[in-house]
Structure 1
């Protein structure tokens, strides 16, 4: 073999090796559009998800432009992450593209105020499972693990302390298929809140994170994630990566 052929063969092998080593597990769309309250923690959240993508070898694109919600653009992704989105952010055409994405067998991850989004879209409220009602002042409480057989939950003790903004959800459970991962012990914090005529007194049984199979796709939600510094907490990052991984791939639950 002459030198020229050897160089060509080397370059071909190098390109193949580069493609193999650079191949990513899956690709996520990170969406942070707000039409209401804009969380200070969004910037930290974007940085955290990008770091997770580097650590766990998956692709991520961050957008706030709802025009990206069309069938052609969404086809390249395996999971859509709503990070602290609020209120009405998609029009009818964009909603249909999102719905088709889930129905094609792909995944959704909702973080914190994803449950404060698209209240009037029934399909979405079922996708999330529960919708935000009110919250008291940020404070420390005890969380309890109800299911450790889910990606990201294996590192948590059965009961642990956490400080966050504790969402009380509307009484309606929009989906009956929710599998709860975390609950909050309402005896360990003050759940009382009042915003004008809207009153919160706690929920009794108070789920904070859950997942479900929904409309041929997968949905994971966590209410944690209000405070910016939470997005540098290793436990929280493991929690949300577990949800992203499962929603994107359907893997990680021991049967």
Structure 2
């Protein structure tokens, strides 16, 4: 896949140099792929002209702190990671035009917060045991992806099909593997404008090996561009 040209992201909300904050706090299952996710996002942020920060400290979710950033990424977060004050700060960040990007178990986060469920698009419900291989079809195929991309990963079933609320980027061929519950229409990545800001999510990213795949890296790069306001094509 050809390299995506470096964008010119919007500034942080306080007018500072554009930044991305990658958040990987967990209160449930902790994915072995978190280090690979952080390293990949660090590299992609550099290519995109974004200064990079990584934290597991929810105290950074305060209005003055988040104003320094253009994008917040929840990368394999799990369960209840923010208190009510921190939730309010994230909500205000998005409503002020901030970008949100969710990777894999970002959909298994904050199940008791309805606004977050709308932000991420759909919550995790279940997954078959182990890694399996299936075709992922992009709705608007990126450069050099001919037909379908075969991916080995952990595949999420979601509590609802988000199609009527989001722009679907990619779908999963559920018939390729055992244990899918979504039926023939199984969105696995999507984006949307939401509550004044932008949201982008991919259900992929469980397996550490996937972060070395150039197609997956390009997929994440497009999401980062979109969430940063550097492109309308997600």
Normalised TM-score (structure 2):
0.88
Structure 2 residue corresponding to 1:219, chosen from 184, 188, 199:
199
1:179 aligns with 2:172: no
Cα deviation for residue 78 of structure 1 reads 0.3
- Deviations along 1:171-192, whole A, 9 cap, x unmatched? 364x843010110111211125
The answer on whether the counterparts of 1:107 and 1:219 sit within 8 Å (CA) in structure 2 is yes
Cα deviation for residue 229 of structure 1 reads 1.2
2:69 counterpart residue number: 77
The answer on whether the counterparts of 2:222 and 2:233 sit within 8 Å (CA) in structure 1 is no
Larger Rg: 1
CA–CA separation in structure 2 for the residues paired with 1:179 and 1:204: 17
The answer on whether the counterparts of 1:145 and 1:157 sit within 8 Å (CA) in structure 2 is no
The answer on whether the counterparts of 1:218 and 1:250 sit within 8 Å (CA) in structure 2 is no
1:157 counterpart residue number: 146
Cα deviation for residue 57 of structure 1 reads 2.5
Cα deviation for residue 203 of structure 1 reads 3.2
Between the two proteins, the alignment pairs up a number of residues equal to: 218
CA–CA separation in structure 2 for the residues paired with 1:204 and 1:183: 9
Partner SS for 1:249? coil
1:132 counterpart residue number: 124
CA–CA separation in structure 2 for the residues paired with 1:26 and 1:155: 30
1:169 aligns with 2:158: yes
The answer on whether the counterparts of 1:180 and 1:210 sit within 8 Å (CA) in structure 2 is yes
2:8 counterpart residue number: none
1:37 aligns with 2:37: no
2:6 counterpart residue number: none
Structure 2, unpaired ranges of 5+: 1-15
The answer on whether the counterparts of 1:25 and 1:57 sit within 8 Å (CA) in structure 2 is no
2:104 counterpart residue number: 112
CA–CA separation in structure 2 for the residues paired with 1:215 and 1:250: 18
Matches within 5 A, 1:84-123: 84-123=76-115
Cα deviation for residue 159 of structure 1 reads 1.4
Cα deviation for residue 110 of structure 1 reads 0.1
- Deviations along 1:67-115, whole A, 9 cap, x unmatched? 0000000001000000000000000000000000000011000000000
Partner SS for 2:228? helix
The answer on whether the counterparts of 2:46 and 2:52 sit within 8 Å (CA) in structure 1 is no
Q: Give the direction of change, closer, same or farther, for the CA distance of 1:202–1:252 in structure 2 (3 Å limit).
A: closer
Structure 1, unpaired ranges of 5+: 1-23, 193-200
- Deviations along 1:30-82, whole A, 9 cap, x unmatched? 00000100000001111111122233332110000000000000001000000
